[in-house]
Structure formats: structure tokens, C-alpha cells
Amino acid sequence: MQNMHELTTFKLASETFLDSNLQLVSSAASEIFPMIAFDKLDLNLIRVFDAVMEERSVLRASQRLHLSQSAVSHALSRLRDSLNEEIFVRTGKGMTPTSYAFEISVPLRAALHSISLALSPADSAFKPKSVKRSFVIAANDYVSATLLPRLNRRLATLAPGINLMITPSTRLDLAEQIDLGRIDVAIGTFRSIPDRLRSLLLLLQDEVLVCSGVHPTGDNEVRLQDMAEFPLAVVSLGAEGAHSAYILERGLARQAEMYDREALERALAGAGLSVRRQIVLPHFLALPMLLEDSELLAIIPQPLAKTFARSLGFKIKSLPYPVTRQRLDMIWHMNNDNDTAQRWLQEQISAAALDTSQSQD
């Protein structure tokens, strides 16, 4: 009875809200369900769909909604019959969404988010000093090593009750996790960003060479001949086989190669040279150990090079060929635009990035 009361309360509150001023939900649903009368659509089915879409499990969705597994399964069957479309396929890995489920998941989540905002207490203003909340940020180890310490210091002073979870931005399902609301902010270099995601430039970064303090080049500038003579280390974040500079997923194209490979190859080819030996790493973490007391040169972003030079005594050298400065952007889902806490977090990340950018000068 408690489960039924909860769903009934949600339905009544949602329908009252829709009748008053949520045209977004109505228009989104009418576009998704053109053959169904919206006033006859059970919004509880959308809520169950969203939970299974996120959890990919009937069991976990039932626990999240405080319903029985049979109630969740029955709701999915009703929605499938109403839509006359398959929405999930049961596999060994759980409930796998169909292409149709992916298509409708984003607007439906936006509709539910709008309902949640409308039903939130009016006095629930965000108070950084007293708030207890967790945020998930997707970032690679370079961003974590350079920007995160500055962000952490700001949060420790301004909002000590905020917890951060850093998840790899190299994951293949990054865009999906943002769409599902599991990632609040992602930081990286992106070639294309879909309209449903917002973006903000954090900083422009140069790429430089870094080497150990005892490298044979000494205090001299590195020449193209040096780059052909000495082994070279570069980082490629998730581009299998290093054949693609970007990873494309659900309209989001993000940088995989953390250096300008085309500029390097063009410069060497123009001089009739080639790299003698190259080490391609999936992250920056191993670079300090590889560089120490070796002849290795590494191409990395300048902020990270300055961190290595300051803490490990490595030398920073300019590249002997021109490269384009790379953007480092912060992206988030448009559903978070009206969330005061999310906006505050974005401001703190932007401020931390400004500190990082100024340290490059």
C-alpha cells in the first residue's frame, strides 16, 4: 500500500504540475508518443522507464523506486504495449536498451527533471557552507593533477560538505553517462558538442616537450633532428590502435590523442625524418618514471609540464615546429541549467581553471 501511495502521490503532483505550467513535458511527450493521447498516459511508466534506463537492471530499479521486481516488469510491459515498440532486451548483462529507448530517454529525462524542479521546496536555496552533496566530474589524470588541487582548495574553504567523485573521461560511454545524469561535469577537449550539452572554455593550453634534468640535450633547444634521434613518448586516451584523434559517441566528439600528431608527422616528413622509437601511453601517470634518468622526450600539455618541472625537476622545452593551442572545455547537460548547486560548482571549476591558466604565463 505504501508503494501504491507513493506512486499515486507522484502521479497527482505531476498531473497538477502539468496542468498548470509544464508545456515542456507535454510537447516532449506528444513528440515521442504521437499515437497516444497524452492525458491518458500514465506518468508512472515514464518514471519506471527512466530508472531501468539508468540502472540497466529490474532489481536495482525496483530497489530505487521502492517497488517489487514484478511491479517494475509489469510497468515495462505496459509501456511497451502502449508504444508498440521494444524498449529493453534482457541479456546476460542486464536490461539492454533498444535504439528506440535511447532515442526517447533524453527528452523524457528532461521532462522528469523539470517536474522535480517544480516540486522542489521554494526555500531549498543552495548554501555552500552548509550543503551536503556529492558531484561526479569526468576528467583525465592530467586535469586531475593540475586543476583538481586548485578546485579542492576552493571547496575546502567555501563548501567543506561537498564530496567529489572523479571518473575517467576516457570511458567509452561518457556522453551516455552525462545524458543519464550520472556525470555532472566533464572536462576535456572536444571537436563537436551536441545541442543538448552546454560548454564553457576553461583555458587554452600549449603543448611542450619535457625531459629529465640529465637529458643529453642539456640546456639547448630541441631540434627536429633531436626528435628523430631520441625516443618519444606521447599519450593517447582511448584511441585503440592510435588511428583516431577523436572518439565519437552520441554526437559528442572528444579528443583521444593528447598531442598534435599531424603537426609532428608533417614537420618530420618535411625534413625527411621520422620518429626513431615511440611509446604510446593510455595516461600520463607513467611518464615521470619513464622520463627519469632517460633519453626519452615527451609531448604533454604545458600546465602538466610545469607541475613535473616544479615537483620532479624535469626540463621544459619548446617544440621545434608550430602547433595550434588546444581548448580545454567543461561540458554539462542542459538539464542542469536551473540547478543552483550545479551552476555554483561550474563557477568554482572555472575559477580553478583561471588559476591554472595564469600559472602558464
317, β-bridge pairs: 209
Q: What is the pLDDT of residue 141?
A: 93
Q: Are 247 and 238 in contact (CB under 8 A)?
A: yes
For the beta carbon of residue 211, count every other beta carbon within 10 angstroms.
Answer: 24
All residues at 6 or more sequence positions from 153 whose CB lies less than 8 Å from its CB, including other chains = none
Nearest alpha-carbon partner for 278 in 227, 239, 212, 233:
233
What gap in Å lies between CA 49 and CA 83, rounded to an integer?
12
CA angle 109, 113, 115 (to 5 degrees): 120
Does this model's pTM top 0.85? My answer is no
pLDDT digits (tens, 9 = 90+) for 109-120: 777 777 776 666
Q: Are 258 and 235 in contact (CB under 8 A)?
A: yes
Cell 505496459 belongs to 78
pLDDT digits (tens, 9 = 90+) for 264-273: 999 999 999 9
Q: What is the pLDDT of residue 84?
A: 87
Write out the E strands in the chain. Answer: 88-91, 94-97, 133-138, 162-167, 185-188, 190-192, 197-205, 207-211, 232-235, 246-249, 252-255, 278-281, 297-301, 315-317, 326-333
Q: What is the pLDDT of residue 206?
A: 93
For each of the domains in the chain, give its residue range(s) and CATH number, in order of start.
Answer: 2-119 (1.10.10.10), 130-361 (3.40.190.290)
Burial 321-351 (b: 16+ CB within 10 A, else e): eebeebbbbbbbbebbeebebbebbbebbee
CA angle 286, 288, 289 (to 5 degrees): 70
pLDDT lower than 50: segments of the chain: 1-22, 24-25, 35, 123, 239-243
All residues at 6 or more sequence positions from 69 whose CB lies less than 8 Å from its CB, including other chains = 58, 59, 62
Q: What is the pLDDT of residue 360?
A: 61
Q: What is the pLDDT of residue 148?
A: 95
